[in-house]
A and B are shown apart, each in its own frame.
Chain A
Amino acid sequence: MLTKRIIPCLDIKDGRTVKGVNFENIRDAGDPIELGAMYARQGADELVFLDITATNERRKTLAELVTRIAREVNIPFTVGGGIASVEDVQVLLQSGADKISVNTSAFKRPELLNELSREFGSQCVVLAIDTKFEESDWYVYLNGGRVKTAKRTFDWAKEAVDRGVGEILLTSMNNDGTKQGFALDITALLSQHLNVPVIASGGAGTMAHFEEVFEVAQADAALAASIFHYNEIAIPDLKNYLYDKGVNVRF
Chain B
Amino acid sequence: MKTVIIKYNAGNIRSVQFALERLGVKGIVTDNPEQIQSADKVIFPGVGEASTAMQYLRERKLDQVITHLQQPVLGICLGMQLLCKHSEENNATCLGIFDVEVKKFQSPVPNGLKIPQIGWNNITGLYSTLFEHVPENTYVYFVHSYYAALSPHTVATTNYVINYSAALQKDNFYAVQFHPEKSAEHGQRIIENFLKL
Please list the residues of chain A having a beta carbon within 8 angstroms of any beta carbon in chain B: 1-3, 5, 40, 45, 67, 70-71, 74-76, 93-96, 98, 120-124, 166-167, 191-192, 195-197, 218, 220-221, 250-251
* Known A-B contacts A1-B121, A74-B22, A94-B14; A121 and B48 likewise in contact (beta carbons under 8 Å): yes
Contact of A95 among B14, B49, B145, B179 (CB under 8 A): B14
B139 at the interface (CB under 8 A from A): yes
CB–CB B14/A121 < 8 A: no
* Known A-B contacts A96-B18, A197-B119; A251 and B114 likewise in contact (beta carbons under 8 Å): no
Q: Which residues on the A side are within 8 Å of B118 (C-beta)?
A: 123, 166-167, 197, 220
Most buried by A among B22, B115, B160, B182: B182
CB–CB A123/B114 < 8 A: no
Please list the residues of chain B having a beta carbon within 8 angstroms of any beta carbon in chain A: 11-12, 14-15, 18-19, 21-22, 47-49, 107-108, 112-122, 139, 141-145, 159-160, 179, 181-185, 187-188
Q: Which residues on the A side are within 8 Å of B139 (C-beta)?
A: 3, 250-251
* Min CB gap B10→A, angstroms: 9
CA–CA, A124 and B116, complex, Å? 11
CB–CB B121/A5 < 8 A: no
* Known A-B contacts A3-B119, A121-B48, A250-B120; A74 and B184 likewise in contact (beta carbons under 8 Å): yes
CB–CB B120/A195 < 8 A: no
* Min CB gap B189→A, angstroms: 11
CB–CB A2/B15 < 8 A: no
CB–CB B14/A70 < 8 A: yes
Q: Which residue of A lies closest to B138 (CB)?
A: A250
Q: Which residues on the B side are within 8 Å of A191 (C-beta)?
A: 112
CA–CA, A218 and B113, complex, Å? 11
Known A74-B22, A123-B144, A220-B118; 8 more pairs at CB < 8 Å:
A2-B121, A70-B18, A76-B182, A98-B182, A123-B47, A195-B107, A220-B119, A250-B139
CB–CB B122/A1 < 8 A: yes
Q: Which residue of A lies closest to B121 (CB)?
A: A2
Contact of A70 among B15, B48, B116, B119 (CB under 8 A): B15
Q: Which residues on the B side are within 8 Å of A95 (C-beta)?
A: 14
CA–CA, A120 and B12, complex, Å? 10
Q: Which residue of A lies closest to B49 (CB)?
A: A121
CB–CB B185/A74 < 8 A: yes
CA–CA, A229 and B179, complex, Å? 28
CB–CB A71/B18 < 8 A: yes
Q: Which residues on the B side are within 8 Å of A76 (C-beta)?
A: 141, 143, 179, 182
CA–CA, A3 and B116, complex, Å? 14
